[in-house]
Chains A and B, each alone.
Chain A
Amino acid sequence: MVDIISQGINLPLPLLMLLLGGLTSLMVGLLSERIGVAKLREVWMIIVSAATLTSIYYLNQSVQKAGVLVISIWGQLPPLGGCFEIDTLSIFMSGSIAVLGFLVALYSISYMEKESRLTEFYTLMTFMMAGMTGVVMAGDMFTLFVFWELMGLSSYVLVAFLKSKWGPIEAGFKYLVMSATAGAFLILSMAIIYGMTGTLNFAAIADNLRGAAVSPWIIALFSTLVVGFGVKSAIVPLHTWLPDAHPEAPSPISALLSGIVIETGLYALARVLFLTFDPGMFKLPIAFLAVLTMTLANVMALLQTDIKRLLAYSSIAQVGYMLIGLAAGTTYGFMALFLHIFNHSMMKGMAFLASGSIVHETGTRDISSLRGIGKMMPVTSLSLFIALLGLGGVPGTNGFISKYHLFSAAFGSGLGWLGIMGVLNSALSMAYYIRIMQVLLGSPKEGFKANEAPILMLTVTMAMAAIIVILGIWPAPLINFATSASQSLVEGLSTYIGAVLG
Chain B
Amino acid sequence: MVPLEPFLVSVGLMFVIGLYSLMVKRDMVRILIGVEILFNSANLCFIALSTQVPGFVDPYAHSIVMMAIVLDGTVIAVGLAMVMNVYKHYKTIDIRKLRRLKW
List which B52-77 residues lie within 8 A (CB) of chain A: 52-53, 58, 60-61, 64, 67-68, 71-72, 74-76
**List of A residues within 8 angstroms of B41 by Cβ:** 184, 188
Could you tell me if A183 and B39 are in contact, using CB atoms closer than 8 angstroms?
yes
Could you tell me if A163 and B85 are in contact, using CB atoms closer than 8 angstroms?
yes
Cβ of A180 to closest chain B Cβ, rounded Å: 5
What number of B residues sit within 8 Å (CB to CB) of A?
41
Task: Report the Cα distance A156→B77, complex, angstroms.
Answer: 12
**List of A residues within 8 angstroms of B71 by Cβ:** 145-146, 149, 183
Minimal Cβ-Cβ distance residue in A for B89: A166
Chain B CB within 8 A of A23 CB:
no
Minimal Cβ-Cβ distance residue in A for B98: A170
List which B25-56 residues lie within 8 A (CB) of chain A: 28, 31-32, 35, 38-39, 41-43, 45-46, 49-50, 52-53
Chain B CB within 8 A of A442 CB:
no
Chain B CB within 8 A of A406 CB:
no
Q: A184-B39, A194-B49 are in contact. Are A177 and B74 (CB under 8 A)?
A: no
- The one of B49, B61, B101 in contact with A171, judged by C-beta atoms closer than 8 angstroms, is B101
Chain A CB within 8 A of B78 CB:
yes
Could you tell me if A173 and B103 are in contact, using CB atoms closer than 8 angstroms?
no
Task: Report the Cα distance A232→B76, complex, angstroms.
Answer: 18
Task: Report the Cα distance A180→B72, complex, angstroms.
Answer: 8
Cβ of A305 to closest chain B Cβ, rounded Å: 10
**List of A residues within 8 angstroms of B90 by Cβ:** 166
Q: A170-B98, A195-B49 are in contact. Are A187 and B43 (CB under 8 A)?
A: yes
- The one of A173, A180, A300, A303 in contact with B28, judged by C-beta atoms closer than 8 angstroms, is A173
Q: Give the interface of B toward A (CB within 8 A).
A: 15, 18, 22, 28, 31-32, 35, 38-39, 41-43, 45-46, 49-50, 52-53, 58, 60-61, 64, 67-68, 71-72, 74-76, 78-79, 82-83, 85-86, 89-90, 98, 100-101, 103
- 7 example contacts (A-B, Cβ-Cβ < 8 A) are as follows A170-B98, A173-B98, A181-B22, A183-B39, A183-B72, A188-B45, A194-B50
What 10 A-B pairs come out closest when comparing CB atoms?
Answer: A187-B42, A184-B38, A195-B49, A191-B45, A188-B42, A191-B46, A149-B71, A244-B101, A180-B35, A166-B89
Q: Give the interface of A toward B (CB within 8 A).
A: 80, 142, 145-146, 149, 152-153, 156-157, 160, 163, 166-167, 169-174, 176-177, 180-181, 183-185, 187-188, 190-192, 194-195, 198-200, 243-244, 248, 300, 303-304
Q: A160-B82, A176-B78 are in contact. List 17 more A-B contacts (CB 8 A).
A: A142-B67, A153-B74, A163-B85, A173-B83, A176-B75, A184-B38, A184-B41, A187-B42, A187-B46, A187-B68, A188-B42, A190-B46, A191-B45, A198-B53, A198-B58, A243-B103, A303-B103
